[in-house]
Structure 1
Amino acid sequence: MAEELEIKLSLKSGDLLKALNWLLAQPEAQAGSKKSLVNCYYDTPDAELNHQQAALRVRKAGSHYVQTLKTRGEFVDGAHRREEWEWPVDGPQLSIGLLADTPLGDRVNLARLAPAFETNFTRQVVMLDDGEALIECAVDEGIIAAGGKEKPLHEVEFELVSGDPSRLLAWAEKLALQCPVFLNLVSKAEQGYYLAGIHVAGEDGGTGADTHDDLDRLLYRLSHAWLEQGSVSLDGLDVQALAVQAEASGQGQSFAAVVEALAKGQSLGNLLSRPEPGQCQLGLLASRAGAR
């Protein structure tokens, strides 16, 4: 078992190439591999794995196959920290025996597992080494497919290889100054589940709203609205306290503009072509992290 720590940003299709070109132009960057990834996710007919907040897939990369199990883990200063198990396998078929010694072994009826959806995309890797951390940046473009339906996928992921975890957020903030980004707490697997109509986590991420502060609640609500292409409720949030945090991070005016639009019921999708939402998300997280 390994531990994964990453920040994931969603972008508009037209901004993905701009983000990639900017990353490659940085003196700390080195271009890595480019590959096509075909991923089949598995679950039971009643979504036992998703209810356990786990994701199970078999990935084809070139001529190699890898079976991976991930837990949802926890959300820490913009990054997801997850437990992860990986095994090389001989082909596209799921190897149930490998799951026996994982948390799924005694929680899920493994014999009922079947393909649920796919995420298929091209990944360009950029390695970032700024002297404080080594980060693998993945620029992903493709589709999520389920039940004859498709959803576009345009993401940039910063994953910590070694060093200071705070550098993930620092690099995400730098990118947000170059093009509009959206800090997205909805994983590829959760997008697939939603498209398949199997199970959808609540707006608090399915972990219980009482375990988060107002900033976490806001970020989960934003991600949930992004998934459903809906509006964002500010009910129950201390917006004034968040505004103070935003001011401290230099995002006071941007935060006020975003909150005004959301309070009027404007769809989040209409805001994502602007830089303010992503910059506010990341600035608020940086301000909170710096206050600790």
Structure 2
Amino acid sequence: MRIARWTHGDELEEGFVIDGRVVPFSEQATVQTVLATGLAAAHDLFDRADAATGVPLKEVRLLPPVVPTTIRDFAAFEEHVEGMTADAEGNGHVPAEWYEAPTFYFTNPHTVLGPNGTVRPPVSERLDFELEVAAVIGGVAGSDGANLDPESAAAHIFGFTIMNDWSARDLQAREMRVLLGPAKGKDFGTTLGPWIVTADELEPHFDRAGLLSVRAEVRVNGTLVGDDLVSNMGWTFPELVAYASRNSRVVPGDVFGSGTVGNGGCLGELWSRTGVLAPPPLTAGDEIRMTVEGIGDLVGFVGEPVPAPPLPPARRNNRPRHR
């Protein structure tokens, strides 16, 4: 099954994508309620859907397929970490801590863009994309989503979509020197889409280790920049979900980014490996097309940057201890 959100005229609708048409859910269901009730209930809705009542995809504007409750973005590809830490000779360093457990950060669920959306970045001289696959969490009867093991975590994965984690690398580098972040280098935009493909539909693409063995590619203005197999992840998606649920909870509508694939999944990796800004940073008007086998194409565009209002530097004082 493929699940989407879209506008048709002035109407916002949510439902299935069937044979090139969008078909609204029956019973006033929404993507969020479908995620909450789980895959079995989604199949019941699908069995009652009538494709003849749908509208051709070309007549609607697709929205992000989910309104995320949270977005956790991992760094699950060793090659990406290696590339982003490369020195002038192209030698990268993967910290020993990376191998011990998957690492993630929370990004902004309020600046999510859909297919063919235009990101309005901050002023940046090193604007970048990041090609990722994302898991979307659904509900499981009898589970509160806390302290899951990988087997039970797998049941919470409703489906998958493509994710573009837009990045302003110069802003990101500055803020991460303060040992926090990324923050403003990331939270201006994340693109998701074009739809959610349910986990059962992608089942033939999982290998014996449980890794999602699909090809992912990214093109800038039609030129192939990066390609990789998603099965090069250091952990499976259920392992990522299980780790995130430790002493915490995962809930329907949560989005889990895989992190950037290797071999050119972002420009920053290529810049670090060569010491040269080639391909060049993104600029207004650029088209980024991401293609993931079994899911589809996700296109995004770069808009004009938005200058930030001024903010003073930190105030220095003599650190008094009493007023």
TM-score by structure 1 length?
0.28
Q: Which protein has the bigger strand share?
A: 1
Q: Which protein has the bigger helix share?
A: 1
RCO higher in structure (CA 8 A, sep ≥6):
2
Max Rg structure:
2
